[in-house]
Structure 1
């Protein structure tokens, strides 16, 4: 056993390399959110401009949540798995019961990321 995660429908659909990519996506989104939010808040730009921070915050939340859960929402919606090297062609899941579990988990992850995005954006909106 090499310690690599294995496919579990609705629980785990990516291996270590893909998980690392999702974590890096989270950090990139986080950095972009900070780089965007700081000048918007401290330079007194119109409050409505703060709403645009939602885009990198959503990317950050989605990346970190997918990495933590070892589950790619896109792969889940497309019924794919990849436990090989990142960038390798993912394998298809054909059994409808398994596909339904994966889709449910994918939408759950998207919902979590949307909730985090709404909370962070609301806090930024309320800052003076």
Structure 2
């Protein structure tokens, strides 16, 4: 059995099915971001409009980070975890465990925001020929 297939506060709160779901959301967000940038540069959108790529990049980064960390930000905020089938969440019983989960969720969110900010600044700075 995979070492991360059990709930570990602040470390791991989702199992294989949920990890696949987060990874898929990462791929979808990435596809939307790439499509957005292709359209923006093909149509010559002004640099400020290109900053909007931050939204799909944030969603993509958050999906990939959650999959990599085996940790769901949304579950942490609601005090849940899931290692079974999709939709079979269980409640985190101990307040300290919930606090640890919230700290991990904040870390993932900050990392996703930093990635989105960096990509959007690069998109802003690229000159249109």
TM-score between the two structures when normalised by the length of structure 1: 0.94
1:49 maps to what in 2? 49
Structure 2: which 5+ runs fail to align? Answer: none
Aligned to 2:11, what secondary structure does the other structure show? coil
Q: In the TM superposition, what whole-angstrom CA distance separates every residue of 1:104-124 from its partner, at most 9, and x where no partner exists?
A: 000110000000000001110
Aligned to 2:98: 99
Tell me the equivalent position of 2:68: 68
1:84 counterpart SS class: coil
- Output the aligned Cα RMSD: 1.0
How many Å separate the matches in 2 of 1:16 and 1:55? 26
Q: What SS class does the counterpart of residue 58 from structure 1 fall into?
A: helix
1:71 shift after superposition: 0.1
The size of the alignment, in residue pairs, is 126
* C-alpha displacement of 1:42: 2.6
Pairwise CA distance, 1:62:
0.3
* Structure 1, gaps ≥5 residues long: none
- Output the CA distance in 1 between the equivalents of 2:94 and 2:45: 51
Post-superposition Cα deviations, 1:73-124, rounded to whole Å, max 9, x if no partner, equal 11111110000012x2311112111010000000110000000000001110
Return structure 1 stretches of 4+ with deviation > 3 angstroms: none
1:121 and 2:83 aligned: no
Report the Cα distance in structure 1 between the residues aligned to 2:118 and 2:54, rounded to whole angstroms: 10
Do the aligned residues in 1 keep the contact of 2:47 with 2:123 (CA within 8 Å)? no
